[in-house]
Structure 1
Amino acid sequence: MADEGLRPIIVKRIKKGGGGHHGGAWKIAYADFVTAMMAFFLLMWLLGSTTKGDLNGISEYFKTPLKVAMQGGSGSGDSSSVIPGGGKDLTRKDGQVKAGDESTVKKTYNLTAAKAQLEREESQRLMTLKEKLEQKIESSAALQKFKNQLLLDFTSEGLRIQIVDEQKRPMFQVAKSELAPYTAEILREIGPVLNDVPNKIGLSGHTDATPYFTETGYSNWELSADRANASRRALVQGGMNDNKVMRVVGLGSAVYLDRNDPFNPINRRISIIVMNKKTEEGLMRDAGKLEVGTGTEGAIDAAAKPR
């Protein structure tokens, strides 16, 4: 019994711990990582498939979410926005959709009607110009005494202003291109009025059928062209913008105003055409090609009527 008190006391210490492969904490961390990557790729996909306008809406939403939610705006109720709150799904691009069906009104443009409207406006503009010229002829002492030599009418090319010869009052010196003093005065009075419209102008010189030819080959063709150019200079001197002139031609005796009498002094004239848009475009398209026909000059009974 005495030996029992001498027995050694043995203390067993149990070392706790297990193999690493038995733990599960890494699985949770891996699941969090995969979830984060999924969210990241989903965000990249949304950003790549969203328009710039919708991105701005998203940006505004996150800057002031309460303001956008309460007051509306892009990102608050658009069906195309990634922010919930409107439309049926994210694939729609029409914005908020009403419950009821609403017919879509398509805008159409009638080009023919628009062109016709522009032509009417231009015709009215040229008509107003004609009235201004007629008023100036009646009110101007310099023009009133020559009104029988000023003919105004409309042709297919636009408003035509013709200054014609009279037997006792020629516009030019015989066989020369120098303007008579009264002719230069008429042109200087008319010039500033032509600036009232944006239309371009063309000038053409005409002679009668009296033969004219020099040893150098100078004929009615050159003479009519020189007279047309002299008229252009007088218009510019009177105040007309030089860049308004689009055409200066000499037609010699090819086109008569009085077809029954080719030698009538009225056939010697300067014709000023205030061109309509169609004529301007035709000249630009055809590189200045000029077609002279009976329709452009008009008949004597209509054109020779004093204005």
Structure 2
Amino acid sequence: MAKNDGKTVIIYRESDGDHGGHHGGSWKVAYADFVTAMMAFFLLLWLVVSLKPQTKQELSLVFQDKNVPSKEKTQNLEKVPTFISPDAIKGSPEFKLSQENKLKYEIAILIKELITSDQNVKNNSGVSNDSSGVLMQVNNSVMFKPGSAEITPAAAKIMDGVAKILRDFKINLTVRGHADDDEGSGPYPSKWELSAARAAAAVRYLSEKAGIPSTRLRAVGLADSQPLVPPTSAENKSRNRRIEFFYTSPDMRPSERSQDGP
């Protein structure tokens, strides 16, 4: 305001433009939220990168869908214990494992090394575990000649690996034979005799040639009573024809469920 001849003059000035508009300063709030979210995102990325490998593995299990099996498990029947990390075996203070779990993990790793040393064996075998012990499965086509209990040269190498694990660990072994009527004719009157003879042949090899005490061995013939998959096709029947090596410590007694396989 200015005075002119005793009169008060009021001057109005119009703004060049409406900077606030209808939104006013609300954009600042939205921008601040965006910056805060980005800061939290990059902080999360930094935390993930800085985690130890075994911690990442344990964290991934939280988000894993338990109802969807992995491709590796579906194809190779492979279920190596995922609840134990290599660092835990070395005595990492972050993981406190029972002696039994450590034993099962070490056995599973040795079995995996054994079956992956030969591509043909790898494609026709698998390893899994349950609360009672560790199971190795090998298809009969790798272990025996058709319709017989004669061990093949490839099977002898597997048996030597099986024996080495038994010598390194004070554990027991149950050998379970599985067979069906489609394996061809032979000296055995039925699939029961054939499956039992194959299990007995494996145990005899371990006892006589590998020197494993017979008190730690057991042979069981199961014929086609415990199929892995429904025997609805030739491929499924071939998968079901197998021999199993089930490792258990003297303190781990196989339950009824373990007899059906893990």
Q: For 1:233 and 1:221, locate their aligned partners in 2 and report how far apart those are by CA, in whole Å.
A: 18
Answering whether residue 230 of structure 2 is matched by residue 252 of structure 1, we say: no
Corresponding residue for residue 205 of structure 1: 177
Shift of 1:265: 1.2
Letter in 2 for 1:227: R
Q: For 1:244 and 1:176, locate their aligned partners in 2 and report how far apart those are by CA, in whole Å.
A: 26
Q: For 1:265 and 1:210, locate their aligned partners in 2 and report how far apart those are by CA, in whole Å.
A: 9
1:201–1:246 CA contact under 8 A, matched in 2: yes
- Which runs of 5 or more structure 2 residues have no equivalent in the other structure? 1-96
- Which runs of 5 or more structure 1 residues have no equivalent in the other structure? 1-118, 283-289, 299-307
Letter in 1 for 2:179: T
Q: Secondary structure at the match of 2:226?
A: coil
- CA RMSD, 1 decimal: 3.3
Corresponding residue for residue 201 of structure 2: 230
Shift of 1:130: 1.3
Answering whether residue 111 of structure 2 is matched by residue 133 of structure 1, we say: yes
Shift of 1:279: 4.5
Letter in 1 for 2:133: G
How many equivalent pairs are there? 165
Please list the CA deviations of residues 124-182 of structure 1 after superposition, one character each: whole Å capped at 9, or x if unmatched: 112112112323444x4xx45422222111034310011114xxx45322221112221
Answering whether residue 260 of structure 2 is matched by residue 296 of structure 1, we say: yes
Tell me the TM-score normalised to structure 1 length: 0.46
Q: For 1:240 and 1:197, locate their aligned partners in 2 and report how far apart those are by CA, in whole Å.
A: 14
Answering whether residue 153 of structure 2 is matched by residue 181 of structure 1, we say: yes
Tell me the TM-score normalised to structure 2 length: 0.53
Q: For 1:136 and 1:192, locate their aligned partners in 2 and report how far apart those are by CA, in whole Å.
A: 10
Query: Which residues of 2 match residues 1-307 of structure 1 at below 5 A?
Result: 120-138=98-116, 140=117, 143-165=118-140, 169-208=141-180, 210=182, 218-236=189-207, 239=210, 241-243=212-214, 245-261=216-232, 263=234, 264-277=237-250, 279-280=252-253, 291=256, 296-298=260-262
Q: For 2:259 and 2:174, locate their aligned partners in 1 and report how far apart those are by CA, in whole Å.
A: 17
Q: Structure 1 residues 173, 129: CA separation in 2 closer, same or farther (over 3 Å shift)?
A: same
Shift of 1:224: 0.4
Letter in 1 for 2:130: T
Higher Cα radius of gyration: 1
Q: For 1:258 and 1:295, locate their aligned partners in 2 and report how far apart those are by CA, in whole Å.
A: 16
Letter in 1 for 2:122: K
Shift of 1:194: 2.2
Q: Secondary structure at the match of 2:219?
A: strand
Q: For 1:144 and 1:244, locate their aligned partners in 2 and report how far apart those are by CA, in whole Å.
A: 33
Shift of 1:258: 2.0
Q: Structure 1 residues 226, 262: CA separation in 2 closer, same or farther (over 3 Å shift)?
A: farther
Q: Secondary structure at the match of 2:260?
A: helix
Q: For 2:207 and 2:151, locate their aligned partners in 1 and report how far apart those are by CA, in whole Å.
A: 14
Q: For 2:200 and 2:138, locate their aligned partners in 1 and report how far apart those are by CA, in whole Å.
A: 14
